[in-house]
Structure 1
Amino acid sequence: METREGQRAIWAAGDYRTVGAQFLLASELLTEALDLRANERLLDVATGTGNLALAAARRAAAVTALDLVPDLLGHARRRADAEGLAVAFHEGDAEDLPFPDSSFDVVTSAFGVMFARNQERAAAELMRVCRPGGRIGLATWTPDSYMGRMLELNTRYVPVPEGTHPPTRWGTREGLTELFGSGTGIHATPRTLRWRFPSPAEHAQVWAEVYGPTATAMDALGEEGRAALVGDLLALAEELNADTTGALLLPLDYLEVVVSL
């Protein structure tokens, strides 16, 4: 299992500012699905560049945001400052949240907590800090989506320890029930983002450089391995491309999840 420092290094690699900008819409939709109210206490876990935290702050929630990577927090803070939004930022780990029980009305994570090393512990922490009757909101990649298949592709080049659950476990109803229990109300809605790029080849090369898990895999490989990984990314993008003009239109399927406690 990866260490905390290993996780921090993965997500500090590449350029998540470029990546996160592609996922803005999912955070806006999730905040609407949660029916946020002014002054509700919201914690955004694994906030990254702050997409969901800022979306919630625009809706007058009292927002706290946490991430493991200082550079990402710095970028999120600058975005909040530029919009004049009040968000309390904290460095911390999703598996050991530095907040008392029942501190928040709403706890969220968009494409973040699903990458926790110990998934059961992370889910338990989300539930612990959310008050009884509160809501947990998630956006999670599904196994058969482009992102799910790309993450699986990475493991062919940089294997994970045997028995490790894939992050896309959070993108299945079965996995969500295992993590949050059958006694919670789990409402999961399939959604699709669309990613546009000038060409599949340009996408494959850029993606290998900017997305933390893929950039980390590239760093661990020799020249031949890097070329093979980029080639596999290109083949996957071409397989799923919905554009017929030579450009790239990638559907990014995910689950929008609201867990009622």
Structure 2
Amino acid sequence: MELDWSLGHYEPTGKLLLPISERVVTMSEPLVGKHIIDLGCGTGNAALLAAERGAVVTGIDPAARLLEVARKRAAERGLQVEFAAGDAASIPVGDGTADLLLSVFAVIFAPDAEAAIAEMTRATAADGLIRLTSWIPGGSMTAINRTAGQFMAEVFGGGESPDPGAATPLAWHDEAALQEAFAAHGFSVELERHSLQLKATSPEEYLEESAQHPMAVSGAQALASRSDGEELQAELHRRLLAAVRDVNEDSAAFQVSNEYAIVTARRSVA
């Protein structure tokens, strides 16, 4: 089942990831007069930054609540940004609309990567760019997601016998895999590696803030449906805290470096 990104409060995560949106938008300048699509815009980080730099921006997201948050932020800044409901498999714009299509930690969660790439390439202008970000395995993000995924598989099943006929998920951080996926649509790919440091006063505080993320809230709701839900939640918290402590780089507080990739795709020269 596809995740409902309207759950919980994505806003704290959005604030943590703002520096990455700033990097991606800055490296894409100049933007004056260009049509930018922010796919999976969430609370609007990249969309607002691009609009501030003179771009004509369309922010697209499947989560109605996040779109409202983004609209409110744009209004507070006096920015003209169009926000619309849509997802990576059905981008509500015409062919060749985007001079630049951005997706900051968004399209990587699309359930059908092949359909998402087909839509992104369709929506991008002949001389346009696609620029997306993806986490590189390691760091607190991987630790939390892997620990939570393993625990949910133990509780609800599904983790021990994967369907041998199921397609392997696209490794959005792997340049070779992306080259192959985008080449089918006449695009070539370049990849840069960067690092984001996340900080908190303690591992406990970091985990508490992470509990507001839609993925965490969705998992909590699933566990709450069980008669032993409280015990399961306590055990999951114990395991997550151990995982976060294990990757902590600051013995006096909390700090962790998360590696990520900035992927740029453009049409190949014939």
Same fold (TM over 0.5): yes
Aligned equivalents of 1:39, 1:188: Cα separation in 2: 26
SS at match of 1:78: helix
How much has 1:166 moved relative to structure 2?
4.9
Q: How does 1:161-240 map to 2 (within 5 A)?
A: 162=163, 163=166, 165-166=168-169, 169-181=171-183, 183-208=186-211, 210-221=212-223, 222-240=229-247
Paired AA for residue 145 in structure 2: L
Residue correspondence of structure 1 range 235-254 to structure 2 within 5 A: 235-245=242-252, 247-254=253-260
Question: TM (normalized to structure 2)?
Answer: 0.87
Q: Could you give the per-residue CA deviations for residues 123-166 of structure 1, whole angstroms, max 9, x where no partner exists?
A: 11111100112100111111223223322333223347743655
Q: CA deviation at 1:99?
A: 1.3
- 2:69 counterpart residue number: 75
Q: Residue in 1 aligned with 2:32?
A: 38
Distance across 2 between alignment mates of 1:232 and 1:175:
32
Secondary structure of 2:172's counterpart equals helix
Q: Is the 8 A contact 2:25 2:50 kept in 1?
A: yes
CA 1:120–1:154: 2 relative to 1, 3 Å: farther
CA contact (8 A) 1:157 1:217 kept: no
Q: Which residue of 2 aligns with 1:99?
A: 93
Is 2:148–2:240's contact at 8 Å kept on the other side of the alignment? no
- Kindly report the root-mean-square deviation, in angstroms, between the aligned alpha carbons of the 2 structures: 1.9
Matched AA of 2:25:
T
Q: Give yes or no for contact 1:108–1:137 (8 Å, CA) kept in 2.
A: yes
- 1:59 aligned partner: 53
In structure 1, the residue matched to 2:147 is 153
Q: Which runs of 5+ in 1 are unaligned?
A: none
**Matches of 1:181 and 1:158, distance apart in 2:** 36
Q: Which residue type is aligned with residue 174 of structure 1?
A: A
Does the aligned pair in 2 maintain the 1:42–1:108 contact within 8 Å? yes
What is the TM-score of this pair, normalised by structure 1? 0.90
- Number of residue equivalences: 252
Q: How far apart in 1 are the matches of 2:25 and 2:168?
A: 27
Q: Is the 8 A contact 1:205 1:230 kept in 2?
A: no
8 Å Cα contact 2:12-2:209 kept in structure 1: no
Q: Percent identity?
A: 32
- Structure with higher Rg: it is 2
Deviation at 1:51, TM superposition (A): 0.6
Question: Is the 1:192–1:251 contact (alpha carbons within 8 Å) kept by the matching residues of 2?
Answer: yes
Q: Distance in 1 between matches of 2:70 and 2:35?
A: 19
1:259 paired residue among 238, 245, 265: 265
SS in 1 for 2:8: coil
| Cα pair distance change 1:175/1:217, threshold 3 Å | farther
Q: Which runs of 5+ in 2 are unaligned?
A: 224-228
Tell me if the contact between 2:129 and 2:266 (Cα under 8 Å) persists in the aligned partners.
yes
CA contact (8 A) 1:145 1:254 kept: no
CA change 1:165–1:248 in 2 (3 A) is farther
Distance 1:155 1:136, change over 3 A: same
Structure 1 residue 211: deviation in Å? 0.9
Larger helix proportion of the pair:
1
Cα distance in structure 2, aligned partners of 1:219 and 1:258? 37
| 1:258, distance to aligned residue in structure 2 (A) | 1.3
